[in-house]
Chains A and B, each alone.
Chain A
Amino acid sequence: DTEVTQTPKHLVMGMTNKKSLKCEQHMGHRAMYWYKQKAKKPPELMFVYSYEKLSINESVPSRFSPECPNSSLLNLHLHALQPEDSALYLCASSQDGFRDEQYFGPGTRLTVT
């Protein structure tokens, strides 16, 4: 099984809402990632958990908060987002870390109104 699942597929939220995106993998991978991708742009890495240790892209605003309950699950908590945060949010996993190939989920299409 090389599948990474993400829920929901689509999400529309207001700027005052709190929501969460979920990601799951059952490949025994020890690294999981969150990316943001705008239309016609490459993915931008936001966060990575590797062996439960968090590494952050310093440019990501604090209204995005990751959580890794265990090595198979990854959440992204959203609070007080702005319309410019509308994008495709991708989750990925890899065996150990950045030197390994990443398997991506289908993404969550987020619209902030």
Chain B
Amino acid sequence: QVQLQESGPGLVKPSQTLSLTCSVSGGSISDGGYSWSWIRQHPGKDLEWIGYIFESGNTYYNPSLKSRVTISMDASKNQLSLNLRSMTAADTAVYYCARSFKDVPDYWGQGSLVTVSS
């Protein structure tokens, strides 16, 4: 069974860069046919897709965040990462990593709460 676990700082100051890591077990991020997503959920409960990466390294980002986002992967560590620059209070959310098959997120991490505050 695939398991995902997010890790990173719970608190980020405004204008700083958020860096989150997602560790994957029970499967390889190099397996073909899957994408690996970052999805966030604001305190108001809305879910927002941030972007994803394929085993080829190809990435696709939500245009609303594209200018500030980088998603990468480290196959040797079986991890994916999220960098989100120029953080503001509007970026306060629970951040999830998820595996997707044909753009359907089927396995999710437990989520990492990130608060933006000085």
Q: Do A and B bind each other?
A: no
Interface residues of A (CB under 8 A from B): none
